[in-house]
Amino acid sequence: MVLACTVALAAPAVAFAATGPAPAAVQGKKHKAKVEAKADKSRVKVGETTKIKGSFADLGGQESLAGGEPVIVQQLQAGVWVNLSTTTCRPNGGFVFSLSFSLRTTLTLRVYHPETDLYLSAVSSVFGVVVV
């Protein structure tokens, strides 16, 4: 099934200069991360915007790690996770995606953080959005 969607990012990419200890990749150890996300509205009309809000937490205790880590909203389609939208998020920070859909459907979504030089991959719980 082909899903046409309109995606507008509400969270700007934020990048900061690194301060403090050397990055984890230099030390040879990647940090664990936790991604949490949920839809502002779980039931929307065609063309109506819903926001996906969430947070990216560094579980390694490195409050001062800086830079933008990728976070991706994904939809489950025929057993495969398909990327809908991508942005970056500062460790121990939040993100917001604004999504609207042009077809009536039921969506199964999650937010995914792929493995990077500093962090292991992480995924949020799965949540649903119904477009009527």
Does the global pTM surpass 0.85? no
In a domain, 24, yes or no: no
In a domain, 13, yes or no: no
d(CA 127, CA 49): 16
In a domain, 5, yes or no: no
Instruction: Please write the tens of the pLDDT for every residue from 80-101.
Output: 999 999 999 988 899 999 999 9
Kindly state the tokens that stand for 90.
């500062």
Per the structure, how many domains does the chain have?
1
Instruction: Please write the tens of the pLDDT for every residue from 8-21.
Output: 333 333 333 333 34
Cβ neighbors of 52 (< 8 A, separation 6 or more) are 37, 38, 39, 40, 73, 96, 97, 98, 99, 109, 111
Q: Is the pLDDT of residue 6 over 50?
A: no
Structural domain harbouring 91 = 30-131
CATH code, 91: 2.60.40.10
In a domain, 123, yes or no: yes
% the chain with pLDDT above 90: 62
Q: Which amino acid is at 70?
A: P
Task: Count the residues in the chain.
Answer: 132
In a domain, 7, yes or no: no
In a domain, 103, yes or no: yes
